[in-house]
Structure 1
Amino acid sequence: MRLTYILPTSTSTRKEMPMRLGDLVIDVTPLRASRDFRFLFAARLVSVLGLGLTLVALPLQVWQLTRSSWQVGLIGVVNMVPMLVGTLAGGVLADRMDRRRLILLARGGAVVVFAALALNAMVDTPYLWVIYVCAAVNSILNGLSVTALMAATPALVGRAHLSAAGALMALTAQLGAIIGPSVAGGLTELAGLPWNYGLTAAATLVTTCLIAFIRPLPRTGGRPHESPLQSIAGGLRFVAGNRLIAGLLLIDVCVAVFAMPFVIFPELTERVYGDGGTILGLFYAAPGVGAMVAALTSGWTGTVRHTGRYLAIATAGCGVAVAGLGLTSAHLWPALFFLAALGAADTTSEILRRSLLQHHTPDHLQGRISSLWLAQTNISPAVGGIEVGLAARVAGPATALVAGGVLCVVGSLAVAGTFRDLRDASLRDPNAEQVRAGRPAPAGDGQSSSGA
């Protein structure tokens, strides 16, 4: 497959040129140009490294206490409502208060949560309810801080460098997904779960201190006369009236519900490999390897003409990878390969989804639509965790993986086939603000601006 990029000389004349190798390299301009973004980047990197430890510690501890993948999946369900509340509240608060202060409050509270998990893990018989309560509180705090972070980024780097900043932040997430779980598996075997939680608390404290060095970020917009529910309702009306945005959310659901099988990893690795630490850590880390490769070579995602079609391919690729994992789960290296492929396909899909979402959403709705998207991306995996946990209980982990992968492929292709607006969407079309200003989109692009 030969990728091409389009020189944006005008809306009517589009000259295609072969893509150069240099076009794939990640842009580090925001790090060079913005002092505040450097602090934010460092804070995010430390934070995700710490959170990577709990990615292994939480499900492993629940599995050890209950011996039930369904109970492991229940953590995600417990997180659903708190995450929804935190994300939606964060979208409203980020437009009504200093965004740096909101991030500081949320991350400071998370330090207390992880310290409580560490203390609970130190007792002879840890309390399961403490784990669930701490997970729920942490979900609220994460929803607040992540939404405020997205809202603060344009002020830190400028709108010309938003895509580069997004790629850099995605890279920190992948580094955390690789290093954190890899360290967590060995750390659990050598020192125990309290050290996992304790190091996460320390990393979160360092994150909070780094954020404090960023300049204040007071609110710059929003409608203070609107109630929070009215603001959220405006975003929901836009999603309901715009088939492209609705299609983006639906195709994301296909991946999150059917192709995110992480909750059954403790059961799978113990049954197949008799391992409760090192191999489990590799299973959680492998998707991060593929995701980091995809992030480092993601320059093409902003230059290809048929963005929506590549999105459908990447989303279906997630299902193929999960099905491949199910078929090869008894063989370590092929299983790790398919997990890496899952991470690469999911990251590519996320970059394309986020870019299309921001490109086709008017400025005055960016915060609310972002909060709705973040809420969906956090709630859907929780539903998927319960689904795959129950399927594994009935049919076994391998069969559950194959079935989930097939459903992801079918669902992705069905959404792309049903929503022409999504299938024909492109980042080369006029953005939502240009459409609202009266500049028409090119004929046949299928873009809908209703609800704007």
Structure 2
Amino acid sequence: MEPSEIREPGLIRRLAIDLGPLRRYPAFRRLFIGQTISTFGSEIAAVAAPFQLYQLTHSTLQVGPLSLCELFPLLTLTIVGGALADAVDRRRLLFVTETLLAMVAGGFALNASLAQPRVWAIYVLVTLAMSIFSLGVSGMNTVIPRLVESHELATANAIENVYGSTTSVAGPALGGLFIAMLGLTGAYLLDAATFAASLWSVWQLPPLRPAHDAERPSLSTIAEGFRFVSAKKVLLGMFLVDSNAMVFGMPRALFPALALKRFHGGAAVLGLLYAAPYAGALVSSVLSGWMRYVRRQGLIVAVAAAVWGVAIAAFGFADTLWLALILLAAAGAADNVSAVLRGTILWTVTPDHIRGRVSGIEFAQVAATPALGNVEAGLVASLTNLRFSIVSGGLVCVAGTFLVALAVPAFIRYEARAPA
């Protein structure tokens, strides 16, 4: 073929998500399929547990503590799980945690089948489920760099985000549908059954052994992970940019008030507000092909964080529902770009022997900062009003991103190797 006959990929091909890694890496394909199925099951349980608790107690006050049952493990055991992921065979760790999660799902079904389901059991089972998940999530998040070539990490990460976004949009709706069709016991049993797909995919993984000189998990090894993050300026900048965006630009706590007061709707409108960012993230994932060509990944993460802030600030001014949903979707799309490239940076700059600990720290940060953002948004709104809280938060997000870029220039200058 003559050089003149070689064509650059067209615009559509550059934008469309590259599914090549699913074809080229069978273990990655099996893991993707297994996790997609089991995550849908987990979304069903995430709807069923608070629904059942409210059905039993008729008290929103008693439903609220479920969030605390989830938050504490997410802030603590994710970091412990990261140390475990660096010290043991990650395949074995995942098989154990997925098996235990399936057993907890069975526990939910057993409790639901009782003539008088126990309220205390729901709190215990939610805490157990989130604790086990937290211990295994770093292992799951650090498998992909062992399954695909380094130049395809961004593409693989984008593919992973497709099932995350899809399940976040469709999972709650399907959860409600299955609860209506199968009842609570049937819905929980369906969740337990979906873990068969996850266990199959994990069992088919190759051995993922730790480094030969890996130390046992301890406070010292955990501290080593924090020292690595603080010393690696690209990671430090990445964490600061995302924390800033989530703390000051996360107005989810205000959605119920917006649905009722500004858009004059009810639960249906509230559901749309919650789903819109995930819908935008899904579209962004499907059109993520361009990300594999990005070399200035740190810069694009900062730009995406700023776009998130601008979209949230504009959302604060939106008085019509359709415009509000478009702006939330735009924010979700920007957040997805940031998430894909942040994950790629983390995988690339972190050596495998410490990747679990760094991933655990990152997951704890991702879990904690939106909760802080909801507190901040609610507090400012109570002192001022809904619009001021949302708009000011978006603008502070943009300003904070700019300040982090100035304070940690290594983050903005970070340049990935060109794809092969």
TM over 0.5: yes
Contact 2:238 2:298 in 1 (8 A): no
Q: 1:321 to 1:136 in 2, by over 3 A?
A: farther
Mapped partners of 1:335, 1:63: distance in 2: 30
Aligned length: 409
Q: Which amino acid in the other structure matches residue 76 of structure 2?
A: V
- TM superposition shift of 1:305: 4.6
Mapped partners of 1:418, 1:51: distance in 2: 40
Mapped partners of 1:412, 1:135: distance in 2: 35
- TM superposition shift of 1:181: 2.8
- TM superposition shift of 1:102: 1.8
Contact 1:182 1:282 in 2 (8 A): no
1:357 aligns with 2:349: no
Mapped partners of 1:284, 1:131: distance in 2: 24
Contact 1:54 1:196 in 2 (8 A): no
1:102-151 per-position Cα deviation (integer Å, ceiling 9, x unaligned): 22222233234445556767899987765554443322222233211123
- TM superposition shift of 1:422: 1.6
2:395 to 406, 414, 418: 406
Contact 2:45 2:188 in 1 (8 A): no
1:147-191 per-position Cα deviation (integer Å, ceiling 9, x unaligned): 111232233334454333222111111111221133345667x56
Contact 1:318 1:342 in 2 (8 A): yes
Mapped partners of 2:186, 2:253: distance in 1: 18
Contact 1:63 1:266 in 2 (8 A): no
- Give the gaps of 5 or more residues in structure 1: 1-16, 431-452
Contact 1:269 1:280 in 2 (8 A): yes
- TM superposition shift of 1:358: 3.0
Q: 1:168 to 1:221 in 2, by over 3 A?
A: same
Q: 1:293 to 1:404 in 2, by over 3 A?
A: same
Contact 1:178 1:288 in 2 (8 A): yes
Which residue matches 1:279?
Answer: 269
Measured on the aligned residues, the alpha-carbon RMSD in Å equals 3.6
1:249 to 239, 259, 278: 239
Q: 1:304 to 1:169 in 2, by over 3 A?
A: closer
- TM superposition shift of 1:87: 1.8
Q: 1:346 to 1:150 in 2, by over 3 A?
A: same
- TM superposition shift of 1:197: 5.4
1:299 to 278, 289, 310: 289
Q: 1:227 to 1:213 in 2, by over 3 A?
A: closer
1:67-106 per-position Cα deviation (integer Å, ceiling 9, x unaligned): 57x975x654543331233322222222333322322222
Query: Superposed, which structure 2 residues align to 1:91-170 within 5 Å?
Result: 91-116=82-107, 131-170=122-161
Q: Which amino acid in the other structure matches residue 148 of structure 2?
A: V
Q: 1:163 to 1:96 in 2, by over 3 A?
A: same
Q: 1:239 to 1:19 in 2, by over 3 A?
A: farther
Q: Which amino acid in the other structure matches residue 421 of structure 1?
A: A
Which residue matches 1:35?
Answer: 26
Kindly indicate which of the two structures has a greater share of residues assigned to helix.
2
Mapped partners of 1:211, 1:312: distance in 2: 35
Which residue matches 1:178?
Answer: 169
Which residue matches 1:344?
Answer: 333
Which residue matches 1:419?
Answer: 408
Q: Helix, strand or coil: the match of 1:157? A: coil
Contact 1:185 1:280 in 2 (8 A): no
Q: Which moved more, 1:136-145 or 1:203-212?
A: 203-212
Mapped partners of 1:371, 1:219: distance in 2: 18
Q: Helix, strand or coil: the match of 2:142? A: helix
- Give the gaps of 5 or more residues in structure 2: 1-7
Q: 1:222 to 1:384 in 2, by over 3 A?
A: farther
- TM superposition shift of 1:284: 2.6
Which residue matches 2:37?
Answer: 46
Q: Which moved more, 1:168-177 or 1:370-379?
A: 370-379
Q: Helix, strand or coil: the match of 1:167? A: helix
1:223 aligns with 2:213: yes
1:234-266 per-position Cα deviation (integer Å, ceiling 9, x unaligned): 221122223222111111101222333334444
1:364-412 per-position Cα deviation (integer Å, ceiling 9, x unaligned): 4333222221221122223223333444555565554334323322222
Contact 1:94 1:219 in 2 (8 A): no
Q: 1:111 to 1:300 in 2, by over 3 A?
A: same
Q: Which amino acid in the other structure matches residue 217 of structure 1?
A: P
Which residue matches 2:184?
Answer: 194
- TM superposition shift of 1:315: 0.3
- Could you tell me the percent identity over the aligned residues? 34
Contact 2:44 2:191 in 1 (8 A): no
- TM superposition shift of 1:413: 2.1
